[in-house]
Amino acid sequence: MKLTALAAETLHSVIPELQLDKITQLLEKPKHAQHGDLSFPCFELAKMKRTAPPLLAADIATQLRNAMIEKTEAVGPYVNIFFRKDMIQQKVVYIILKEKENYGTIHLKNKETIVLDLSSPNIAKPFSMGHLRSTVIGNAIANILEKSGFETVRINYLGDWGTQFGKLIAAYLKWGKEEKIRRNPIPELLKLYVKFHEEAAVNTDLNEEGRRWFKQLEEGNEEAVSLWKWFREESLKEFNKIYALLGVTFDSYQGEAFYNDKMDQVVQMLEEQDLLKESDGAQVVELDDPSLPPCLIKKSDGATLYATRDLAAALYRKKVYQFSKALYVVGQEQSIHFQQVKEVLKKANFDWAAEMHHIPFGLLLKDGKKMSTRKGKVVLLEEVLKEAIQLAERNIESKNPDLPDKEEVARQVGVGAVIFHDLKNYRVNSVEFSLEDMLKFEGETGPYVQYTYARANSILKKGKWTGEVIDKGLGDNYSWELTKLLQEYPEVIANSNKAYDPSLVAKHIVDVCQAFNSWYGNVKFLQEDAEKGARLALVSATAIVIKESLRLLGIQAPQEM
């Protein structure tokens, strides 16, 4: 039940001169309820007809007829449309209760596959708050894509190769203690990494030592490879604890090292197509876009680079997954890099490169500055999640100490608070890390949305709701504002899918919760009267939409709080 479509079709029957899409585009939502549910401005049509807009509005208002429309009125150049609240509400609630969590789902005949490159932390470094953004944004986009009818492949492209591993091996051999790392792997490896950079600032020979060890790693030196594998395994164990807390899973953990034996094919392919040019001893591909620098494929010492690896990864993924789109959920500072990779593939006549899209996001800032692992100024995600869970536990103990499964609910609320704090922001905007804001249990937060869901469940339980179909709607303004938001939900999903923007879902569900709580504050839900069944039906429909919205964002919905 889409109100804009209903209004547009009714208007189109009266003004066929304007195309249906154009009418839909022109429809507005009035700021005040007394101006109707939707409003149609007549300026554009008046120009076509060479008529004064107020006269045209008055004429259209008298002609509009639809059983779902209660009344229309002309106010100056606008046609204001008021819908039949009870009839619309009955239909919207009926659809939601029938479709349940499938409400808003698109069923495509031919399922296309979309691969997503997300999370991608660096091995042997802690999983910082900085990695949270790629992980939760990518996971939510994948959920929304699946609801929109696509198959997804979630790839955790681990940073498990590069000169930094030579530096880490050198640091471990100089200062490392095996028993310390076995006891507490990631913090100890971080200490070594930070110490290396502190010492290298004084003794620059250390950097050369790091490069030598990485060269030995590339050449298969037994000691170097053994240490690298150990660092990787220990890191993955730690990362998987975080992913389990966040409820995020992957279809592939193929990191940078996986493509080591696939890069020569890329270089050979570019040579065969005469795309490689020499520049100061290095091999580059010159790009047609004058705003982009040449793409560096091979350094003067013969070493390959990120671009070479990403080209190999793109070709491999296309071959294996036959994707229709490839999304790279990576920070916006990598924008030029992805443009270069895409342009190289286009020059090499891979048409599908047009469907590779960088999905950028802003930085997570601490005191207005980017977090840095190298200098040790890093906020660990695991510590933040644990602190959020502990705060949730304290709140439960003070407000509802007899709550069943207190520990599990605290985990859902604490983790949900952290995820929601990120996803309610448009992804391209940078987000200031603030534990205090993240963990507030009122306002536009995850706990507020979860609590509204628990409240709805409590009402249904007390009202002994059995899920029966109600052939009745309500006519009050409070429930009507909520109904209008619920009927917009499929459109919100569609828009979020098109823009790869989970914040649209997060913002919408906050609006739904606010409308629900406003209704809750003005109505006696459990009063035994003729409208009790219709009220409970709308409560149930609201609970379904809240729970499904949270699921799409990667957040669980506790039954009780």
Which residues does residue 298 pair with via DSSP β-bridges, in sequence order? 283, 304
- What are the pLDDT digits (tens) for 451-498? 999 999 999 999 999 888 777 778 788 999 999 999 999 999 999 999
For residue 368, name the pLDDT band (cuts at 50, 70, 90).
Answer: confident
pLDDT higher than threshold 60 for residue 57: yes
Q: Rounded distance, CA 28 to CA 47, Å?
A: 19
- What are the pLDDT digits (tens) for 70-80? 999 999 999 99
Summarize the confidence of residues 8-27 as an average pLDDT. 94
Q: What is the pLDDT of residue 364?
A: 81
Cβ contact 60:46 at 8 Å = no
SS (H, E, C) 358-422: EECCCCEEECCEECECCCCECCEHHHHHHHHHHHHHHHHHHHCCCCCCHHHHHHHHHHHHHHHHH
Query: Residue 421: phi, psi to the nearest 5?
Result: -55, -35
Question: 3-state class of 529 per DSSP?
Answer: coil
Give the pairing of strands 276-279 and 151-155.
unpaired
Summarize the confidence of residues 526-540 as an average pLDDT. 92
DSSP 469: -
Q: Rounded distance, CA 404 to CA 396, Å?
A: 10
Query: Residue 109: phi, psi to the nearest 5?
Result: -65, -50
- What are the pLDDT digits (tens) for 275-333? 999 988 889 999 999 999 999 998 877 666 889 999 999 999 999 999 999 999 999 99
Question: 3-state class of 86 per DSSP?
Answer: helix
Q: Rounded distance, CA 408 to CA 308, Å?
A: 45
Which residues does residue 80 pair with via DSSP β-bridges, in sequence order? 39, 73
Q: What is the pLDDT of residue 210?
A: 93
Summarize the confidence of residues 371-390 as an average pLDDT. 73
Q: Which two tokens stand for residue 371?
A: 């977090």
Q: Rounded distance, CA 545 to CA 149, Å?
A: 18
Query: What are the Cα distances from residue 69, in Å, to 9, 87, 185?
Result: 12, 9, 66
CA torsion, ordered 427, 429, 430, 435, to nearest 10 deg: -70
Query: Residue 77: phi, psi to the nearest 5?
Result: -85, 10
Give the pairing of strands 295-298 and 282-285.
antiparallel
Q: What is the mean pLDDT of the chain?
A: 92
Residues 6+ apart with CB under 8 A from 434: none
DSSP 304: B
Sheet containing strand 295-298, strands side by side: 276-279, 282-285, 295-298
Identify the residue with better confidence: 119 or 440. Answer: 119
Domains and CATH numbers, the chain: 3-83 (3.30.1360.70), 113-259+310-370 (3.40.50.620), 381-553 (1.10.730.10)
Q: What is the pLDDT of residue 1?
A: 66
pLDDT higher than threshold 80 for residue 520: yes
Q: What is the pLDDT of residue 372?
A: 55
Q: Rounded distance, CA 47 to CA 66, Å?
A: 27
Nearest of 555, 552, 544 to residue 457 by alpha carbon: 544
CA angle 468/473/478 to nearest 5° reads 120
| CB atoms near residue 273 (< 10 Å) | 12
Note the residue count of the chain.
561
- What are the pLDDT digits (tens) for 150-167? 999 999 999 999 888 999
Give the pairing of strands 282-285 and 276-279.
antiparallel
CA angle 527/530/535 to nearest 5° reads 65
Q: Which of 99-113, 375-389, 525-539 has the lowest mean pLDDT?
A: 375-389
CA angle 322/328/329 to nearest 5° reads 135
Q: What is the pLDDT of residue 399?
A: 87
Q: Is 266 exposed, middle or buried (0-12, 13-18, 19+ CB in 10 A)?
A: buried
Q: Is 427 exposed, middle or buried (0-12, 13-18, 19+ CB in 10 A)?
A: buried
Summarize the confidence of residues 43-69 as an average pLDDT. 93
Cβ contact 57:501 at 8 Å = no
Q: Which two tokens stand for residue 449?
A: 């949305």
**What is the Cα 525 distance to its own chain's centre?**
35
Q: What is the pLDDT of residue 468?
A: 80
pLDDT higher than threshold 80 for residue 141: yes
Cβ contact 176:192 at 8 Å = yes
Q: Rounded distance, CA 24 to CA 408, Å?
A: 46
Q: What is the pLDDT of residue 363?
A: 86
Q: Is 56 exposed, middle or buried (0-12, 13-18, 19+ CB in 10 A)?
A: buried
Cβ contact 385:242 at 8 Å = yes
Q: Considering the entire predicted model, what is its pTM?
A: 0.92
Q: What is the pLDDT of residue 330?
A: 94
SS (H, E, C) 203-249: CCHHHHHHHHHHHHHHCCCHHHHHHHHHHHHHHHHHHHHHHHHHCCC
SS (H, E, C) 81-141: EEECHHHHHHHHHHHHHHHHHHCCCCCCCCCCEEEEECCCCECCCCCEHHHHHHHHHHHHH
**Which H/E stretch holds residue 344?**
helix 335-347
Amino acid at 209: E
Helix axis angle, 222-246 relative to 381-399, nearest 10°? 20
Q: Rounded distance, CA 244 to CA 331, Å?
A: 23
pLDDT higher than threshold 60 for residue 374: no
- What are the pLDDT digits (tens) for 187-222? 899 899 889 999 999 998 999 999 999 989 988 999
